[in-house]
Structure 1
Amino acid sequence: MTKYLFEANYVGDGIKGLLREGGTKRRDAVVDALKSVDGSLECFYYAFGETDVVGVFEIPDAASAAALSLMINATGAVRLHLKPLMTVEDLDEAAKKSPTYRAPGQ
Structure 2
Amino acid sequence: MPKYLIQATYTPEGTKGLLKEGASGRRAAVEQVVTGLGGSVEAMYFAFGEHDFVCIIDFPDPVSMAAASLAVKASGALQTRATPLLTLEEIDEAAGREVTFRSPGK
Query: Do both share a fold (TM > 0.5)?
Result: yes
Residue aligning to 2:86: 86
Q: What RMSD over aligned residues (CA atoms) do the two structures have, in Å?
A: 1.3
Please tell me whether residue 75 in structure 1 is matched to residue 63 in structure 2: no
What's the CA shift for 1:55?
Answer: 1.7
TM-score (norm 2): 0.93
Give unpaired runs (5+ residues) of structure 1: none
What's the CA shift for 1:48?
Answer: 1.0
What's the CA shift for 1:103?
Answer: 4.6
Amino acid at match of 2:28: D
TM-score (norm 1): 0.93
Residue aligning to 2:12: 12
* Counterpart secondary structure, 2:95: helix
Amino acid at match of 2:82: L
For this pair of structures, how many residues does the alignment match?
106
Residue aligning to 1:41: 41
**Cα distance between partner residues in 1 of 2:37 and 2:80:** 16
Residues 78-105 of structure 1, C-alpha deviations (whole Å, 9 max, x = no match): 1111111111100000001122334555
How has the CA–CA distance of structure 1 residues 77 and 105 changed in structure 2, closer, same or farther, with 3 Å as cutoff?
Answer: farther
What's the CA shift for 1:47?
Answer: 0.3
What's the CA shift for 1:35?
Answer: 1.2
Residues 33-73 of structure 1, C-alpha deviations (whole Å, 9 max, x = no match): 00110011000000011110012111100010011111101
Residue aligning to 2:28: 28
**Cα distance between partner residues in 1 of 2:81 and 2:93:** 26
How has the CA–CA distance of structure 1 residues 89 and 50 changed in structure 2, closer, same or farther, with 3 Å as cutoff?
Answer: same
Amino acid at match of 2:94: A
* Counterpart secondary structure, 1:43: strand
